[in-house]
């Protein structure tokens, strides 16, 4: 069993989730059950699936959970772009979070390649 707390990508994904909660707090009230809920669930899914994957006994299972985490990361990327286009998010916040997310996506991909190799 791996210790997820020792993975850089887990810490980065947790920080990303906190940022998503921070920025989405100012979204329009009508988005509470729309984009706000979806973005928060996606961001939590990223770090949660990394953690859950660490508990799996085989490398194949761990890689599977990393894939789920990556899917959530790409889903969140799409939602961020929609928020930017709707002007729900400040340009500075978008750039910061988008950079965090892209770095995280590269990290998840890199770890997945190492795990399945």
Q: At what angle do helices 91-116 and 35-54 cross, to 10 degrees?
A: 30
Question: What whole-number distance in Å separates Cα of residue 32 and Cα of residue 34?
Answer: 6
Q: How far is the C-alpha of 46 from the C-alpha of 15, rounded, in Å? A: 11
Contact 83, 35 (CB under 8 A): yes
Find, among 7, 62, 93, 34, the residue nearest to 42 by Cα. Answer: 34
Q: Are 62 and 56 in contact (CB under 8 A)?
A: yes
Structural domain of residue 68, as residue ranges?
A: 4-116
Domain count, the chain: 1
pTM of the entire structure?
A: 0.94
**Tens of pLDDT, residues 36-87:** 999 999 999 999 999 999 999 999 999 999 999 999 999 999 999 999 999 9
CATH number of the domain enclosing 61: 1.20.1440.60
Asked if the model's pLDDT at residue 1 lies above 80, the reply is no
Q: Please give the mean pLDDT across all residues of the chain.
A: 96
């Amino acid at each position: 069993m791996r210790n997820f707390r020792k993975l850089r990508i887990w810490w980065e994904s947790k920080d990303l989730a906190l940022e998503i909660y921070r920025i989405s707090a100012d979204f329009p009230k009508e988005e509470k059950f729309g984009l706000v809920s979806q973005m928060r669930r996606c961001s939590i899914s990223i770090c949660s699936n990394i953690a859950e994957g660490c508990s799996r006994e085989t490398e194949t299972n761990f890689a599977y959970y990393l894939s789920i985490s990556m899917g959530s990361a790409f889903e969140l990327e799409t939602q961020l772009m929609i928020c930017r286009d709707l002007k729900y998010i400040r340009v500075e916040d978008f750039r910061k979070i988008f950079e965090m997310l892209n770095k995280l996506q590269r990290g998840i991909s890199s770890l997945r390649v190492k795990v399945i190799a």
